[in-house]
Chains A and B, each alone.
Chain A
Amino acid sequence: MCLSTVYKNNMEPASIVMKNVMRIECRDGKVILTDLMDRTVEIEGTLRQANLVDGYVIVTEN
């Protein structure tokens, strides 16, 4: 139930796509992120890794 930080391709500060992510959906070849303020980000790609203990997610962009 913790919020996560989502990175694109690499887990480094410059690759942060969104912080405080509360929901992740994968559909139609996209990863759709929603943060605590209900803002969304769509990335064309796939979910590579989700670490729910450390609160980070890595998405691979196509």
Chain B
Amino acid sequence: MHIHHDHTCGDHSHAHEHTHSHEHTHDGVTHTHEHCHSHEHGHAHPHEHDHLHGEGHTHDHSHECSAGCNSCCGSCHTPTPMEELMALMQYMANHNAAHARELAELAGRLEDAGNHAAYEQVMAAVSDFEKGNMRLAAVLASLK
């Protein structure tokens, strides 16, 4: 995905910022991650991407990497440990809410089966789930 691009064709200097996916292979495992960076064309990166120019046309071009995979990532956005933690906590909050709904459905089936005492206990558990989720939501809100 191309975010920003300055292109001066006269002296052919470009400075641009963009995001793209890199593919790396480590120990037989290939992985990709997307990141963005700004650079001038004095060096090269192994990627291809579209450019949208002022004239409204796009074209692809590719670069070769000259300085290794870690040389270009100074301004890349990789998730910070806190961002990962937040994402996990948000996931858990959503996950717990889904489980609370599932438990409520099970409670309903117990009620349908005529076991009202069990229904009440499971609904109490649903309530506990919801209280826990409210705490999680409060923590998430305070961290944002």
Chain A interface residues toward B at CB < 8 A? 1-3, 8, 17, 20, 36-44, 61
Instruction: Tell whether, in the assembled complex, residue A20 and residue B29 are in contact, meaning their CB atoms are under 8 Å apart.
Output: no
Instruction: Tell whether, in the assembled complex, residue A39 and residue B88 are in contact, meaning their CB atoms are under 8 Å apart.
Output: no
Instruction: Tell whether, in the assembled complex, residue B95 and residue A37 are in contact, meaning their CB atoms are under 8 Å apart.
Output: no
Instruction: Point out the residues of chain B lying under 8 angstroms from A17, CB to CB.
Output: 29
Instruction: Tell whether, in the assembled complex, residue A37 and residue B79 are in contact, meaning their CB atoms are under 8 Å apart.
Output: yes
10 A-B contacts, Cβ less than 8 Å apart? A1-B95, A1-B98, A3-B91, A36-B84, A36-B87, A37-B87, A39-B32, A41-B29, A41-B30, A44-B28
Kindly state the separation between the CA atoms of A57 and B28 in the bound complex, as whole angstroms.
18
Instruction: Tell whether, in the assembled complex, residue A43 and residue B29 are in contact, meaning their CB atoms are under 8 Å apart.
Output: yes
Kindly state the separation between the CA atoms of A41 and B98 in the bound complex, as whole angstroms.
28
Kindly state the separation between the CA atoms of A31 and B107 in the bound complex, as whole angstroms.
38
Chain B interface residues toward A at CB < 8 A? 28-34, 79, 83-84, 87-88, 91, 95, 98
How distant is A25 from chain B, measured CB to nearest CB, in Å?
Answer: 13
How distant is A39 from chain B, measured CB to nearest CB, in Å?
Answer: 5
Instruction: Tell whether, in the assembled complex, residue B32 and residue A40 are in contact, meaning their CB atoms are under 8 Å apart.
Output: yes
How distant is A34 from chain B, measured CB to nearest CB, in Å?
Answer: 10
**Given A1-B98, A2-B95, A37-B79, A20 contacting B88 (CB threshold 8 A):** yes
Instruction: Point out the residues of chain A lying under 8 angstroms from B98, CB to CB.
Output: 1
Identify 20 new A-B residue pairs, CB closer than 8 A, beyond the known A20-B88, A41-B31, A42-B30: A1-B95, A1-B98, A2-B95, A3-B91, A8-B29, A17-B29, A36-B84, A36-B88, A37-B83, A37-B87, A39-B31, A39-B33, A40-B32, A41-B29, A42-B29, A42-B31, A43-B29, A44-B28, A44-B30, A61-B28
